[in-house]
Every structure is written in C-alpha cells, then in structure tokens.
Amino acid sequence: MLIKTIFLLFFALSSLPAAPIEKSPFPRPDIVIYNTTDSVTCRNIIRSIQSLHYSQKELDDSMSSKILTKYINTLDISKHFFTKNDIKNFEQIRYKIDNSLLKGDLAHGYIIFNLFLKRSFERFVYIITVLEDWEQKLNFTKNENISLTSEGKPWPKNKNELTRLWKKELKNNILNLKFQKKDNKEISKILKKRYWNRLKRLCKINSKDAFRIYMNAVTTSFDPHSQYFSQSVSDNFDIQMSLSLEGIGVVLQNEFEYTKVVRIIPKGPADKTKKLNPGDKIIGVGQNIKEEIQDIVGWRIDEVVKLIRGPKNTFVRLKIIPANKKGNHDPQIIIIKRDIIKLEEQAAQKKIVEISANKHTYKIGIIHIPTFYRDFKALQNGKKDYKSTTQDVLTILKELKQENINGLIIDLRNNSGGALKEANQLTGLFIKSGPTVQIKSRSGRIAQLNDPDPTIAYNGPLIVMINRMSASASEIFAGAIKDYNRGLIIGTQSFGKGTVQILKTLSRGKLKLTNAKFYRVSGRSTQHQGILPDIEYPYIYNKKVTGESSLKDALLWDMSKQAYFKPYKNFSSILKILKEKHIKRKKQSIGLKYLSERYQLALKTYELKKLSLNEKKRKKQIHSFDKIKINIKNKLLISKELKPINNIKDIDADKIEDDFLLKETEFIMVDFIELIKNKNYHW
C-alpha cells in the first residue's frame, strides 16, 4: 500500500509526462522507495534531536516549513529542476512533514526526491541530445546572460523555461571550454563524456542516498553542524578523525553538483602546496602526473574520496575552480604528492626574528600552532611525555627565554581547533590562574575549565594572530587572552564556531549533534561573531562564504554570565597609538595594499550576478578581470624589482613567499614593546 501511495503521489506532483521507457536509448534512474530500516533510523534521529540538541527547538509546523525549504534548496538551489507548479504542490505538505517524521514516514521526502531524479534525467537527456549538433543549434552571438545566483529569482513557470535554463547551462559550459583553448571537436567529446557519466551516476542513486540527503535537510535545519552520516560517509569520517589517512589532507563535502574543500588539514600534503584553499571546488581528478583528469562534477562524495585517496608517495592532480571565481572558464590544475598526515608534522614550531628600531634591536619569538593536538592514545597508555600542543609550546617557551626574546607572537591563522583541554592548558601558560572558558549545556548548566596552576611560563609582551579560518579551540584561547588583557589580538574576525558536538552511533551510520555552547570568561559567546581583533588586517578569505555567519541556520551570538576572573591592566591607553602607527605603515606598504586589492577583486568577482553568453562580450568580460589581476600583481613585482608579467597564465609563476601580515605584526610588536616600557604593565 505504501509503495502504491508513493507512486501515485509522485506522478500526481510531476507536471511533466514520462517518456516511454521502451523507446529511450538512455539509462533511466529507478524510483527510490524507503523501507522499515529507514523508518526506524528516522525515528531514532528525531528522538535524539529532541532529547540532545542544544537549541531545544520543537519539531513543529514552523520547523516543518524550514525543513521543506532546506530540502528543496538542497536538491535545487539553482532552480533548474522544479517548476512554479511543483513548488505550489509542495506547499500542500509544508506543515505535515513534522508529524510524518515523528512516525518515521518518509513519503513526503521521497516523493520530492523522485521528482528531482526525473527532472535530472530529463536535463541530461536534453543536453546530450543538443550536443549531437550543438554547432548548428546554439548561437553565441545572441545578447543573453546566465544568472550566477538564484537568489530572488522566480521558479521557472513550465518545462519550456526549464529547457531554456538547461540550454544556457550548456552554452556556458561550451564557452568555458572555448576559453580553455579547446576546439569544437574536443568540446563535444569532453561534454558528451561528462554528461553521459553524470547520467550513469544518476542511475546509481539509491534509497540510502535519498535517506541521507533528506535526513541532513532535517538535522541542518536545527544547526549546520548537526549531521547524519550514512555508513559509507561514517567510515570516511572515522578515517579522517584518526589522521591515519594516506591522501592529501583535506576535508570535503558535496555542494550541489560540486565537491567543495571545507578544511585543509594543517601540515598535510595539500597544506604544504599552499595552492588549495577552503571553498575551492574540485571538478576533476587525475592519477599520477600524466594520466587523464576525470571529470567529477556530479559525483558522490564517497566516490570522489576514493579517487583522491591513494598510497603514500604517489601523485594526484586536481582540477579546481578557486573559491573567489564565478564560472569555470579558467580552472587551475594542482599536483599534490600523497602522504600520511602525521601528528608530529602538526606540532608547534618556532622561529626568532630580529627587528631594529630607534637604535635598538629587538628579538621577537614566533610560535606557529597549526592545530590543538593531543596524543590521546599515548595518554591512555599512561605515557607522561605524550605529545600535545601545551607540552610542545612549554618546551619552545623555555628555549625562547634562553634566547632572551623581547616579545612573543603566537600565530593561530588557519588553526581550525582541536582538543578543548589543550586550549585551556595553553592559556594557563600565560595567566596566573583562573577560568579560561565556559561551557553551557542544553539544560542551562554552566561548567568552567580552569587553570589552577599559578605558574606563568611566559610573562612578556604577547600578540595572538588570527584569521577567518581560526576556529573553535583557537577562538577559546584567543578569547581568553583578550578577556584577561594578557595580549593583543591581531588579524581578522575569526570563524565563529562556538558550539560543541557529540557523535552518536546509530544502527546504520552516525549522528553528529550540537549539544553545548562555548562562552568566554567575559560571558560573550564565540558563536557566530567569533573573536574580533584589536587591530584588523585585510581579509584573505571571503567572509561571505567562510565562517559561521555564512552558514544557514547557524545558532546566533548571545551572552551568558561573566565568570569570576581577574584581568590584567587593559591596553586602551596604547591601543589607539598602535592603530595609528599601523595605519601609517599600511598606507606605505605595497604588500598590504596587494592583499587588500586582491581581496577586493575577489569580492567583486564573487558578487557577479551574471555572465554573458555572447562569446565576444564574455571574452571582453574575462579580459577585463584578467587585466586587473595582472595590474595588481605587477605593482608587487615591481616593488620587489622583479620582472612584470603580461599573461594571466604567469600570475603565479613568480611566487613571492613574504608573509606581509606576519611582517606587519612584527612591527606592531616592536611598537608594543616600546609603548609599554614605562606604562607599568606586569603579567
């Protein structure tokens, strides 16, 4: 009866007639149907959310509406599959999903998913058919555009509007390949292969995929960090958490038809290349140096992971669309040597620089901390000398003190967090004693982590560097240093992840749920807002697409009770002077101007709403952006007395390794040291 109901509802919702199966030369996806195991797992997920999730939001009509919107956007964010009439039909179930989920009834989700499969099939068939003689059918002199965002756009009225969108998609892909210097024969071959492969993969989609996607629309409606992992995704998650993966050291996720880089694991193979960034989209993967790069657009995440993963000392080539680009006319190819990501390579590292100013030479110690690590296995085995961030930094501090450093910079840029206890203990190296972070459970109970040891490992001038990718444990440490007035925070607004997740094993897969929230000792949450620097630097990462505030349904910033703690003397009397000196240098610094101009161009590119499908106009559009990029780079090259470039392909040929932000931080540290000499600062 259930199967019959799904079939009837599915075809009732579909406004497009199905092509006769026996006459179609194309493989067709099966209709997906849920089973008893899916229903049981669904009920377990819902019960877990209701009893464990921090927000304590009810699964009511309001949440039902949110889940439907989230699910539709997950399947069709670009508005290329569903019509206005489909959306009207979906409205009939907008306030019924909650009651269905409580009973383990997945019919609503599967009906929509089956319609999505049907439209995806029709889209691929249409595009493959047009590709047979696209040179005659498609006109690249027409003045038309392809929209790069669906925000504010109405849903297509009917099938004719859908096919117009599909045609524009194809024209855009053809133009992208034309500007990669591919001839028409190559373009046909590449795109036919791409869309046939995507059609074949569409036909492999099964009930488990539908269940995972639907359940994640449910969990992420409560907050973006609550997720359901199917068994295959769960296995990959376990490997990632163990850090024993032989691969390239990246965390990936599906974003519509693309594979997106979410995080770069510090000191991993990808991190060492300095060419891959969070937000980049991987569109192709090739093995070794010369093998053909496979188009992976539309692939499942587990299939992409299998392709990228491989034995140590072998090479993988990635074709990527950088995060700051719209369209894919100019993808980049990155070669990465696979390796095992070792804990030792993620260890804190030090260096000393000497800066001369006002007839003095100052020694500045710099400690780079890629992650907050702790060798839990060694700790469980009773080893006293287990490897950890705090132990390593303590050793480094002793060495730096012997070198008589005048100031210390702790670099937490791109540090996405790690062991919470390490953030607590590391803070303890710089303060006398007291609380370092507060953790609020869903019941409202507040627990504190404290530094009970009055010993201070370093009591000199301190600066902590952060950026948009500094998250979680990094924000706890930086927030404590800021609240205690123990040091200056310099950089950009941090990520803003101020929540705690637990992992629950289900009969099939795992469930990650947000069950607590972090608060600084001042009572301010790190959630959403992150840590705001005392002195702000130019952004490197687009904060509109990175950070907690860019995530839909992220828990909001709020405050809790202030903990009892004794801050040191604040820096208000000298901070204004430090800012003035920084601004003066910034105006004269070619390096900082370069970073600022590059970021502004990335923002401009990101904010593009449309691309021309007129070949001449598109070429002009691309040339205009390339000219700006070359101009920005040449200002920097000329300042370094290096040869300027003329071709966009040479944009990365002359790598300039200077860390302009770290260099400026060193200058700020010297100003800091000189300003506090007679200001009675003691730590």
Q: How many CB atoms lie under 10 A from the CB of residue 53?
A: 17
Q: Is the CB of residue 224 less than 8 Å from the CB of residue 553?
A: yes
**Residue-wise DSSP of 630-669:** HHHHHHHHHHTT-----SGGGTTTS-----HHHHHHHHHH
Q: Are 203 and 27 in contact (CB under 8 A)?
A: yes
Cα–Cα separations (whole angstroms), residue 169 to 174, 193, 328, 367, 473: 9, 16, 12, 48, 42
- CA-wise closest residue to 110 among 201, 182, 13, 199: 13
DSSP states of 480-498 as a string? Answer: HHHHTT-SEEEES------
Active-site entry in 66, 171, 497, 510: 497
Reply yes or no on whether 118 is catalytic. no
For this structure, is 497 an active site residue?
yes
Instruction: Please tell me which residue in 221, 472, 525, 612 is annotated as part of the active site.
Output: 472
**Annotation marks residue 330 as catalytic:** no
Angle value at C-alpha 14, between 11 and 18, nearest 5 degrees:
75
The secondary structure of residue 342, as a DSSP letter, is -
Query: Which residue bears the tokens 């993808």?
Result: 331
Q: Given the residues 339, 411, 483, 534, select the one marked as catalytic.
A: 483
Beta strands in 70-199 (DSSP E): 145-147
Are 512 and 503 spatial neighbours (Cβ–Cβ below 8 Å)? yes
C-alpha 423: how far from chain center = 22
Q: Are 547 and 509 in contact (CB under 8 A)?
A: no
The DSSP annotation for 129-148 comes to HHHTTHHHH--SSS--EEES
Measured distance CA(156)–CA(164) in Å, rounded: 10
The percent of the chain in helix, strand and coil, each rounded to the nearest 5, is 45, 20, 40
C-alpha span between 142 and 614 (Å, rounded) = 6
Question: Distance between CA atoms of 283 and 295, rounded to whole angstroms?
Answer: 6
Residues belonging to the active site: 472, 483, 497
